[in-house]
Amino acid sequence: MRTILLLVLSCVSLSVHAQQRPMVQTTKVEGTDGVYIFRNGNHQAMFIVTNDGVIATDPVAYGRPDGGKTYIDEIRKVTDKPIKYLIYSHHHFDHIAGGQAFKDAGAKIVAHKRTKERLAVLQDPHTPLPDETFDKRRTIKLGGTALELSYHGLNHSDSSLVMRLPKEKIIFIVDTFPVGAFPGRGFIDFYPLEAEKFGQQVLKVDWERMIPGHPGPNDRLGTKKDVEDQLTLWRDASEAVKVAAREGKCWDGVEKEMKLPKYESMPGYQNGLPFVLRRYCGLWGRGT
């Protein structure tokens, strides 16, 4: 019965998010020697195969009891080298649940210190605590590859990392900048003012392609233009709500009446709009 239910849920998930693609997929990033994207449903993570082992990120196994093992099985189709590290992009369970399989395989879990603090309180049974944490910067060096981890302050969460492969000029940032899509539920605890500063900092970093935590349209990777577009979208939404808030229209007036017509053809607009408006009402109509 449980198996049948899971199958049904998987099918629903496929039809809604992945348009009948396989549930799980691993793709080599074009033009790289060993950078891969592992996708499970509508979530994805980056892993890097080096001469001395594998650096994996985000287990993406929330609600998928075998998801972490599935991820490892996919890595094993590419290499038999040991999985040395698992990096958490931030503390949200939909991206980092499922790490036990990596720990069992011998990987060391690395995350921002705030991730560990949050996980330690919440004790999610599917999300092992990091073995190592850092605050601002940490570079993972393995088999001739460097993966730079850095923390630039609040944005989508208070633990979101920028992961950068300097040689490939690739960054992996999860959830903060949806590629080609309107922000969604993740806006519920977003830090609007700080995220704008974060966006400006990310634009100054040297990179060309961004791997997002959710697949972009036709699986395309993000560019600096996508970051600029999100910044513009946040500012447009923020300004519109600010004006309305000062007329006393938060929460009800804004949530029931406001539209952002410039973005209405963007994927995710209908579902995401209430979350974006509510968050900016929190800021301009409330002060938080």
Least CB distance from residue 202 to Zn ion, whole Å?
16
Q: Which stretch binds Zn ion (CB under 5 A): 140-148, 175-183, 196-204, 229-237?
A: 175-183
- Binding segment toward Zn ion, per CB under 5 A, in 89-97, 113-121, 129-137, 221-229: 89-97
CB nearer to Zn ion: pick between 58 and 229: 58
Nearer to Zn ion, 175 or 229 (CB): 175
State which residue, 149 or 254, has the beta carbon closest to Zn ion.
149
Query: Residues 6 or more apart from 152 whose CB is under 8 A from it?
Result: 162, 198, 201, 202
43 binding Zn ion? (CB under 5 A):
no
Residue 158 binds to Zn ion (criterion: CB under 5 A): no
Q: Restricting to residues 7-26, which ones interact with Zn ion according to CB under 5 A?
A: none
Nearer to Zn ion, 105 or 173 (CB): 173
Report the residue number, 92 or 126, with the smaller CB distance to Zn ion. Answer: 92
Q: How far is the CB of 60 from Zn ion (least distance, A)?
A: 11
Should residue 91 be labelled a site residue for Zn ion when binding is judged by CB under 5 A?
no
Q: How far is the CB of 197 from Zn ion (least distance, A)?
A: 19
Indicate the residue among 149 and 258 with the shorter CB distance to Zn ion. 149
- Does 92 bind Zn ion (CB under 5 A)? Our answer is yes
Q: What is the torsional sign of CA 54, 64, 149, 168?
A: positive
Binding residues with Zn ion: total (CB under 5 A): 2
CB of 88 to Zn ion, least distance (A): 11
The residue range among 87-95, 147-155, 188-196, 248-256 that interacts with Zn ion, by the rule CB under 5 A, is 87-95
CB of 34 to Zn ion, least distance (A): 26
* Lookup result for tokens 């929190």: 282
CB neighbourhood size of 96 (10 A):
31
Compute the least distance from the CB of residue 199 to Zn ion, in Å: 16
With CB under 5 A as the contact rule, which of the stretches 66-74, 84-92, 161-169, 280-288 interacts with Zn ion?
84-92
SS (H, E, C) the chain: CHHHHHHHHHHHHHHHHHCCCCCEEEEECCCCCCEEEEEECCEEEEEEEECCEEEEECCCCCCCCCHHHHHHHHHHHHCCCCEEEEECCCCCHHHHCCCHHHHHCCCEEEEEHHHHHHHHHHCCCCCCCCCEEECCEEEEEECCEEEEEEECCCCCCCCCEEEEECCCCEEEECCCCCCCCCCCHHHHHCCHHHHHHHHHHHHHCCCCEEEECCCCHHHCCECHHHHHHHHHHHHHHHHHHHHHHHCCCCCHHHHHHCCCHHHCCCCCHHHHHHHHHHHHHHHHCCCC
Interaction of residue 175 with Zn ion, rule CB under 5 A: yes
Could you tell me the smallest distance in angstroms from the CB atom of residue 175 to Zn ion? 4
CA 214 to chain CA centroid, nearest Å: 7
Q: Which is nearer to Zn ion, 84 or 116 (CB)?
A: 116
Contact set with Zn ion (CB under 5 A): 92, 175
